[in-house]
Amino acid sequence: MDISEEIINRLKNGGVDFFTTYPCAKIQRLYNLIHNQFLSIGVTKEEEGVGICAGASLAGARSAMLVQSTGFGNMINALCSLTITYKLPLLILASWRGVYQEKIPAQIPLGESLPALFKAIGYPYQTVKNRNDLPKITTAINKAYQESALQILLLSPQLWGEIQPIKNSTEPTPHRSSKSLLDLPPLAPGLLTRFEILKAIIQFLDKKLIIGNIGFPSRELYLLHHQATNFYMLGSLGLVSSIGLGVALQSSRQVVVIDGDGSLLSNLGSLATIAQSAPKNLTILAIDNGVHGSTGNQKTPTSTCVDLAETAHGLGIRHVFRGSTPEEIQTILANLNGGPNFVHIPTQPGNAHVPTIPLTPLEIKEIFVQAVQST
């Protein structure tokens, strides 16, 4: 049995059942085995995977990630403000670049600094350099899922010795047709605020699994319609739709994401991943006020040059709609079929005067998990 197969066996024996992945040349065989033997989603960047794994864990999965170690450069905030803040279990297997026979100079600075970086932030990690270190994988799995904790395994390339490149397929890569199927109302400024829109669609949101965006969207949702099936984000800008995807992939219930223009623009790749995964039970409400509303109404590109509906369609989402009045939106929501659905809702800037959510991160998680996993 080779090293990659032994790692797979340890993952299976530990009960890991869901992966997000980002490739690295040093772990090609392990990457392929994971995609062949686990429910797995390839992501457009590693931070996105943190959000998807968070959602999958909330819905009962034993989530893990396979990444290149350079990805920690864009995962630090998400791991701190989402995985650690909510005490979510997550196992990360990282191809450790920059420290063993590294031929790419750009890999070295971060690779050499990772142990010190992890110690400074408080990330628990172990290094796996040879076959004798493989039991550390089992230890990390147990800690991650028994203690609802982050566990990182840095897999040194010396585990595999000389890397044999996997032969590329000679088959041409298919591409979907670029012909637009959109038939939307023209893009025009919204007439109402996000709060007024949410108030008008409370009946649609009732008893569904709702993932509320960071800041005022979650605060407004809490005031208007707090329910056990609401998950309120407190950090991790840009990951609300990724969390929704993770929940949708692990639950048969309808999942509704309340996203925004600033959040979506910070993580557009998430829409491509959602389109590729194609969960039929996921609906994204893209509430577009053209500004960063929680930080002082600084304009976003949707106020001048970006059409989020066209963008979502260009990234592969087939079911795209637009409405700006309560009547239009209610009609759209009443006639949704299989998803993923993307509903673009232009609104006016402005936040309601609402208090902060009087729940701790752990209370938010525990209430939601109990509601999701009890049905």
- What are the DSSP calls for 316-329, one per residue? T--EEEE--SHHHH
The reply to whether 366 falls in a domain is: yes
Contact between 230 and 207 under an 8 Å Cβ cutoff? The reply is no
- What are the DSSP calls for 99-121, one per residue? SSS---GGGHHHHHHHHHHHHHH
Checking if the pLDDT of 114 tops 80, the result is: yes
pLDDT confidence of residue 91 = 98
Please, where are the H alpha helices in the chain? 3-13, 28-37, 46-58, 72-78, 108-121, 135-146, 194-200, 202-205, 216-225, 240-250, 261-265, 269-277, 308-314, 326-334, 361-373
Q: What is the mean pLDDT of the chain?
A: 92
Domain that includes residue 140, residue range? 3-159
The 10s digit of each residue's pLDDT in 88-107 is 999 999 999 999 988 899 99
pTM of the entire predicted model? 0.93
**Is 215 found in the same domain as 149?**
no
The 10s digit of each residue's pLDDT in 217-227 is 999 999 999 99
pLDDT confidence of residue 21 = 96
> Based on the structure, what is the number of domains in the chain?
2
Q: Which of 121-130, 160-169, 263-272, 318-327 has the lowest mean pLDDT?
A: 160-169
| Strand-pair category, 291-292 with 63-68 | unpaired
The reply to whether 174 falls in a domain is: no
The 10s digit of each residue's pLDDT in 260-279 is 999 999 999 999 999 999 99
pLDDT confidence of residue 178 = 47
The reply to whether 166 falls in a domain is: no
pLDDT confidence of residue 337 = 87
pLDDT confidence of residue 268 = 95
Q: Measure the CA–CA gap between 53 and 41, rounded to whole angstroms.
A: 10
| CATH number of domain containing 107 | 3.40.50.970
Q: Omega of the bond prior to 340 within 30 degrees of 0, cis?
A: yes
pLDDT confidence of residue 251 = 96
